[in-house]
Amino acid sequence: MIIVMQRNAEDRQIDQVVAKVKAAGLDVHLSRGKEVTIIGVIGDKTRLDPDELQAMSGVEKIMHVTASYKRASRDFHPENSVVQVGPMSFGGNRISIIAGPCAVESKEQLLETARAVKAMGASALRGGAYKPRTNPYSFQGLQEKGLELLAEARAATGLPVVTELMSVKDIEVVAKYADVIQIGARNMQNFILLKEAGQAGKPILLKRGMSSTLEEFLLAAEYILAQGNNSLILCERGIRTFEDYNRNTLALAIVPTIKKVSHLPIIADPSHGTGRADLVIPMSRAAIAVGADGLIVEVHPHPEKALVDGPQSLSFPQFEELMKEIKPMAKALGREI
């Protein structure tokens, strides 16, 4: 249920409605817009009498919401949420680019990449220290040592660091080093991890599960928002389909769809979304054309030698070309990179 207050309703009137909802044992999600305040009601709405609420002073109308996700819904929060982390911003006019290797491999590899992507216009550095690998004998990441290297790269370049949290047991150490905690596709429905990560006091980048629906994706987001953490960025990273000419199918129609039903920012990952470096630039252009708030792209000084995801990693000249191509596109769309 959503309670729409009258234009320019007074704080006193808003407080009275909030108190009434809370007295019935329900929670509220308050969205104070420039002109209109919206009170989202969360919980068993049968405990409230809509006619009684409608009669309260300052109330414009009562609306019933059918979507299962509430805090993630645009009905509850009509304006875009803007997530700002250092030089990165998602959900506003800016398009921010997160770039870096799939996995942190060494100090040289990471620092060289961080310096290169910074010089070419990236807003943040990505790099996995804990890697979710299909094969248990594959490189699993440098773990805490990898996090230390990410912190060194941040100190050297000023770029904020985006890195994946795979397990609740690593939450303290990952939160200590990360500027943004990434929840990977394989963990999108690890509900315990979502709850704990939501409480870690850091912005979260939530990647879409490879076989999740839009509703499941937004319900996973709801787990994080329900912890009181509103600094949440969604990421379309490709889904599994019958198609096998690409690693995944980058389902870009979700970008404008999310924009319609949710206030949350959404970025695209054309690296995992295609699995092929030659498709990263065209699919990046496509992502920006459909309204993505940013990109997360894998870049490696020597893709052919990368320990993880070499075939989809851009070389430095390829990343430079990507930035060169998307800047005028963003400008044409009235956005900036």
Please give the residues from 190 up to 249 whose contact with ligand PEP meets the rule CB under 6 A. Answer: 207, 237
Interacting residue ranges for Mn ion, rule: CB under 5 A: 102, 309
CA-to-CA distance for 318 and 323, rounded, in angstroms? 9
Residue 132 lies near ligand PEP (rule: CB under 6 A): yes
Closest separation in Å from C-beta 47 to ligand PEP: 40
Residue showing the smallest CB distance to ligand PEP in the complex: 184
What are the two backbone dihedrals, phi and then psi, of residue 28, each rounded to the nearest 5 degrees? -125, 150
Nearer residue to Mn ion within complex by CB, 105 or 309? 309
Q: Name which of ligand PEP, Mn ion, none residue 179 binds, using a CB cut-off of 5 to 8 Å depending on partner kind.
A: none
- What SS3 state is found at 201? coil
Nearer residue to ligand PEP within complex by CB, 225 or 239? 239
Q: Name which of Mn ion, ligand PEP, none residue 282 binds, using a CB cut-off of 5 to 8 Å depending on partner kind.
A: none
Burial status of residue 169 (CB atoms within 10 A of its CB: 0-12, 13-18, 19 or more): exposed
What DSSP element (H or E) covers 321? Answer: helix 316-332
Q: Name which of Mn ion, ligand PEP, none residue 185 binds, using a CB cut-off of 5 to 8 Å depending on partner kind.
A: ligand PEP
Q: Are 188 and 272 in contact (CB under 8 A)?
A: no
Nearer residue to Mn ion within complex by CB, 75 or 309? 309
Closest separation in Å from C-beta 308 to Mn ion: 6
Closest separation in Å from C-beta 271 to ligand PEP: 8
Nearer residue to ligand PEP within complex by CB, 153 or 185? 185
- What SS3 state is found at 110? helix
Q: Name which of Mn ion, ligand PEP, none residue 270 binds, using a CB cut-off of 5 to 8 Å depending on partner kind.
A: none
Nearer residue to Mn ion within complex by CB, 29 or 272? 272
Out of 185, 224, 250, 326, point to the residue binding ligand PEP (CB under 6 A): 185
One-character DSSP codes across 141-192: --THHHHHHHHHHHHHH---EEEE---GGGHHHHHHH-SEEEE-GGGTT-HH
- What SS3 state is found at 237? coil
Helix/strand/coil percentages in the chain, nearest 5:
40, 20, 40
Q: Are 167 and 184 in contact (CB under 8 A)?
A: no
Instruction: Compute how many residues bind ligand PEP; rule: CB under 6 A.
Output: 10
Out of 272, 284, 295, 326, point to the residue binding ligand PEP (CB under 6 A): 272
Q: Name which of Mn ion, ligand PEP, none residue 207 binds, using a CB cut-off of 5 to 8 Å depending on partner kind.
A: ligand PEP
What are the two backbone dihedrals, phi and then psi, of residue 171, each rounded to the nearest 5 degrees? -60, -40
What number of other Cβ atoms are within 10 A of residue 231's Cβ? 20
Q: Which residues bind ligand PEP (CB under 6 A)?
A: 102, 128, 132, 184-186, 207, 237, 269, 272
